[in-house]
Chain A
Amino acid sequence: ETGVTQSPTHLIKTRGQQVTLRCSSQSGHNTVSWYQQALGQGPQFIFQYYREEENGRGNFPPRFSGLQFPNYSSELNVNALELDDSALYLCASSRGGATNTGELFFGEGSRLTVL
């Protein structure tokens, strides 16, 4: 059973640029969630995808968007980057729908630095 994998692990962007982060979910999981973790803080929920549809969103602006693909992998896109977007972006996979237990399994994250 493969775990959650994220890419890239580190990246540096400048203000105003756009970034795409990628996540492969754990085998057998059909739900992907994205979290933002600022330095010294707990992860904050961005949004969740279940069967390719967004089915929950946190308090993040529309320039944060995502996709889920038929193989349940996912992308997080952030447009018009701001300095405060510098953070560790975490992807978590889980079983959704009727089999949802609440258990989330996280990847190692993508560390984004915005200059």
Chain B
Amino acid sequence: QQQVKQSPQSLIVQKGGISIINCAYENTAFDYFPWYQQFPGKGPALLIAIRPDVSEKKEGRFTISFNKSAKQFSLHIMDSQPGDSATYFCAAHTGKLIFGQGTTLQVKP
């Protein structure tokens, strides 16, 4: 019940394309859903986050879509760039963060 399931494990997108990463959860007590970006050898950096009373949040090229009834949320990266190549983690918060397994994104020039 504390798990957050993330897919796909890896993703290859052409420059300019849309990258989509999905996450699913079970625990309805989660109150905050952030996405983190992590480059090799670095710590995770907060990218964008949403609360369960909102269905969508957009910041620049990054959008979170949140479906409370389905207990799913996703990250959309529009106009993907080679500099977006990194590992992305979804997470869910209830006093602590529960992370998904991560998605390695490669954006090809």
Residue positions of A touching B, CB distance < 8 A = 4, 33, 35, 40-45, 48, 56, 58, 90, 92, 101-109
CA distance A42 to B96 in the complex (A): 14
How many residue pairs, one in A and one in B, have C-beta atoms under 8 Å apart? 56
Judged by DSSP, the binding face of B is strand
- The interface residues of chain A lying within 8 Å CB-to-CB of B102 are 40-42
Nearest CB of chain A from residue B23's CB, rounded to whole Å: 11
B39-85 interface (Cβ within 8 A of A): 41-46, 49
Is A41 touching B44 in the complex (CB atoms < 8 A)? no
Is B93 touching A43 in the complex (CB atoms < 8 A)? no
**Known contacts A41-B102, A102-B34; is-contact A107 B96 (Cβ 8 Å):** no
Is A108 touching B46 in the complex (CB atoms < 8 A)? no
B45, B49, B99: residue with the most chain A Cβ atoms closer than 10 Å: B99
Q: How many residues of B contact A (CB 8 A)?
A: 23
B1-58 interface (Cβ within 8 A of A): 6, 31-32, 34, 36, 41-46, 49
- The interface residues of chain A lying within 8 Å CB-to-CB of B95 are 48, 56
CA distance A105 to B96 in the complex (A): 13
Residue positions of B touching A, CB distance < 8 A = 6, 31-32, 34, 36, 41-46, 49, 89, 91, 93, 95-102
Who on chain A is nearest to B104 by CB? A40
Is B43 touching A108 in the complex (CB atoms < 8 A)? yes
- The interface residues of chain B lying within 8 Å CB-to-CB of A105 are 46
Is B42 touching A104 in the complex (CB atoms < 8 A)? no
What are the 9 closest A-B residue pairs judged by CB atoms, nearest first? A42-B99, A102-B32, A106-B43, A102-B93, A45-B96, A108-B43, A106-B44, A109-B43, A43-B99
